[in-house]
A and B are shown apart, each in its own frame.
Chain A
Amino acid sequence: MRKLFRIRTKIDLKLYNALALGVFLLVLILWTVLSEAGSISQIFLPSPKSVLAYLVHIFASGQIWPDIGISAYRIFMGFIIAAVVGLPLGILAGTFNFAEALIQPLTEFIRYMPVPAFVPLIMVWFGIDESAKIALIFLGTLFQLIPMVADNVRAVPEDLLSAAYTLGAKRTTVIMKVIIPAIAPRTMDTLRIMIGWAWTYLIVAELVAANSGLGYNILKAQRYLKTDAIFGGILIIGCLGLLTDRLFVLANRKLFPWAEGGK
């Protein structure tokens, strides 16, 4: 017991796993008891059984796949465009002080504007087709990405750059052969956090202006008070988010065996 409360001390891995699993089970049991006891209407809290039945149904019938497909497409496009634009801008801002002055204050300003507030504007500009959702994800992630990449560049030890200079490297070589490889693992991690944001903005976009996708599915379920479908939809999104997150972690370990914790 005393061991549990030692500051920053690892506990037994078995105990750790048991605790983590226990919390999941606890939530599940609580949920079952509350919904099956009958004190709460199925409309407010569907039973785990009915949510599971719904999930089995949509996967078995295959009707969910197009929604997952279109949502994944939107995320992928918005995220890729944000990365293609944001990575160079972030590297510039972190490398050159004048670029920082040009890029970062404006970025920080826009970063604090609530992205969902842009939805009406985006609908005016892009209508309600695919480009609107992609634009929203792009806007939502780009301005978070730039300052984080710039910080990654600033975290590269000064002596590493000095060493390169004393080995004959000039400016371009230092950027291409030192700064970029040095920030690669950390930047993969930044992208991992970004894709989490992307999932959030995807659902915002699909809740407001879409006729397909996982978010739209949830909205549709709400209209018919199908709470089990709402629960199911949220669970699917959660699992997909977790899956992309783990994929990023795995890719990071495989791509950068030299980094701490890699292999």
Chain B
Amino acid sequence: MFGRKKQVQAKNDVVIEARVANSKILVSNLRKSYVNKSRETVAIDDVSIEILDNEFVSIVGPSGCGKSTLLRILAGLDEATGGTAILDDKLIDDPGADRGMVFQTYTLFPWLTVEENIRFGLKIKKTPPKQADEIVDHYLEVIKLTPFRKSYPKELSGGMQQRVAIARALANSPKVLLMDEPFGALDSQTKSEMQLLMRQIWQVDKPTVVFITHDIEEAVFLSTRVYVMSGQPSVIKANIPIFLSYRRSLELKDTKEFIDYRHKITALLHGKESADSGES
């Protein structure tokens, strides 16, 4: 009884802290473990991150480091076993329209056309049809798929499907867009095109994005900041702001500054270097 009260008090303190810090997302001492046949498997040991409004933050780490679990907890799809995750001034405990998500797997509803998919969230929100039409038209334009508006997902390539998935999430105007290795299944050519499109979308609308990837180049190219996560134990190893030109094109990937960032993060991931780089 007393313990519970104390816990609530602690959570309230974190909420206040978040408000003071003016962060969009504040994750404090998050822990996630599974108990299976009385043996505990730890997915996340202890993770604290902070994401500000309009930031594009990537989390890179080796497979199995718990980065996807972290994102699923932010989405409210998984429950943490310890610590807190806060969006604005509300504890995250279930999924909601304020956190849009794009998955690595193709998750378009196969029975809906492209435009109906984009409209899915708007229908739930009961957006007036006329306004919904405008939003759908706008995002079809953004992802350059207006001619395919009446197509079913099975008629689209993988890259096109992920573009629709991004539009579907953005059309809902979420407070934060969560992306779980959305381009992981695409060929490298399509992947580069998608990265460019994503960066352009961010440059125009500045949605707050949390982006999970194991592709360092992708993380540097897209982000304003990169968190490096390690596997064992599953903690944040470094926090690296990316100071590169604001308007980015694919040529940026060949510049020295870009390559330096890439090397730095690669070294961190392989544990050759201690986290001396702007840890906050």
Query: C-beta contact mask, B117-160 vs A, less than 8 Å → 1, else 0?
Result: 00011001100000000000000000000000000111000000
CA distance A69 to B105 in the complex (A): 49
CA distance A169 to B126 in the complex (A): 12
Asked if B152 and A258 sit within 8 Å, CB to CB, the answer is yes
Given A258-B110, A258-B152, A259-B110, A167 contacting B105 (CB threshold 8 A):
no
Residue in B95, B105, B165 whose CB lies within 8 Å of A165: B95
A160 at the interface (CB under 8 A from B): yes
Interface residues of A in 193-230 (CB under 8 A from B): none
Contacts of B124 in A (CB 8 A): 167-169, 173
Asked if A162 and B77 sit within 8 Å, CB to CB, the answer is yes
Asked if A166 and B77 sit within 8 Å, CB to CB, the answer is yes
Contacts of B154 in A (CB 8 A): 258-260
Given A167-B168, A167-B169, A260-B154, A184 contacting B77 (CB threshold 8 A):
no
User: How far does the Cβ of B35 sit from chain A's closest Cβ, in whole Å?
Assistant: 18
Residue in B72, B75, B121, B165 whose CB lies within 8 Å of A168: B121
Given A167-B124, A169-B124, A181 contacting B178 (CB threshold 8 A):
no
Find the residue from A159, A184, A256 having the highest chain B CB count within 10 A. A159
Asked if A167 and B75 sit within 8 Å, CB to CB, the answer is no
Interface residues of B in 82-100 (CB under 8 A from A): 95-97, 99-100
Contacts of A128 in B (CB 8 A): none
- B interface, size bucket: 20 to 34
Asked if B107 and A163 sit within 8 Å, CB to CB, the answer is yes
Interface residues of A in 143-159 (CB under 8 A from B): 157, 159
Interface residues of A in 248-263 (CB under 8 A from B): 256-260
User: How far does the Cβ of B269 sit from chain A's closest Cβ, in whole Å?
Assistant: 27
User: How far does the Cβ of B62 sit from chain A's closest Cβ, in whole Å?
Assistant: 22
Given A159-B107, A258-B110, A167 contacting B152 (CB threshold 8 A):
no
Asked if A165 and B172 sit within 8 Å, CB to CB, the answer is no
Contacts of A164 in B (CB 8 A): 109, 120
B101 at the interface (CB under 8 A from A): yes
Residue in A168, A184, A260 whose CB lies within 8 Å of B97: A168
Query: C-beta contact mask, A16-45 vs B, less than 8 Å → 1, else 0?
Result: 000000000000000000000000000000
A178 at the interface (CB under 8 A from B): yes
CA distance A181 to B116 in the complex (A): 14
CA distance A191 to B72 in the complex (A): 36
Residue in B96, B107, B121, B152 whose CB lies within 8 Å of A157: B107
A80 at the interface (CB under 8 A from B): no
A170, closest chain B residue (CB): B124
Asked if B100 and A166 sit within 8 Å, CB to CB, the answer is yes
Asked if A166 and B111 sit within 8 Å, CB to CB, the answer is no
- Could you list 5 examples of A-B contacts with CB < 8 Å? A157-B105, A159-B105, A162-B101, A166-B100, A259-B154
| B residues in contact (CB < 8 Å) with A | 72, 75-77, 95-97, 99-101, 103, 105, 107, 109-112, 120-121, 124-125, 152-154, 165, 168-169, 172, 178
| Known contacts A162-B101, A166-B178, A167-B121, then 19 further A-B pairs from the complex at CB < 8 Å, ordered by chain A residue | A162-B77, A162-B107, A164-B109, A165-B76, A166-B77, A166-B95, A167-B100, A167-B124, A168-B96, A168-B97, A173-B124, A177-B120, A178-B109, A257-B152, A258-B110, A258-B111, A258-B112, A258-B152, A259-B111
